[in-house]
Structure 1
């Protein structure tokens, strides 16, 4: 069994805050891609709904993901994005089978 952890994190942003959210996400991506254990970290924007974003992440291990969850840049981004969302983010983790 692979130790790689995959994460899908979906965000629904209030339409009037899309550009602000994009800026927060861009800063988060820049810092996260430099983290040890980050294999891939990309953001998708739905073609049918520009206020819908999904992070697609790959982490080398659960430990790497846990370190990311405690990283100052993630905590700051979560704090800044919270009031811009329509609903709470949907974050799911997966392993390859």
Structure 2
């Protein structure tokens, strides 16, 4: 299993637009082969800071995810929505 934490920080004034854009990809991503979890979380202490908690079967499933049409549309909007590039952490269980 591959676990991913993806962190997004909205540009000022784009907080709601970012949340909506990320919500739009939830259902199609959850339907992808190899996706075990895809959960959007909000940071209560930092409005505009959103986190996706993901679990994938393997690296190949995650790599295929980035090629999906819904993800290409989302990524194309990042310049307008994000204050900085997303931080994507690929993690594996160690114990």
Q: Give 2:28's match in structure 1, choosing from 23, 28, 31.
A: 31
* 1:14 equivalent in structure 2: 11
* Moved >6 Å (runs of 4+): none
Task: Check conservation: 2:66, 2:72, Cα contact below 8 A.
Answer: yes
Task: Check conservation: 1:9, 1:89, Cα contact below 8 A.
Answer: yes
1:2-51: CA deviations, max 9, x gaps?
xx001111010023111111111111112101101100001111001111
Distance 1:54 1:23 in 2: 13
Aligned residues: 94
How far did 1:62 drift? 1.3
Distance 2:83 2:59 in 1: 29
Task: Check conservation: 1:24, 1:81, Cα contact below 8 A.
Answer: no
Secondary structure of the structure 2 residue equivalent to 1:31: helix
> Unaligned 5+ residue runs, structure 1?
none
Listed as ranges, the matches of 1:1-97 within 5 Å are 4-97=1-94
Distance 1:82 1:43 in 2: 20
Task: Check conservation: 1:41, 1:57, Cα contact below 8 A.
Answer: yes
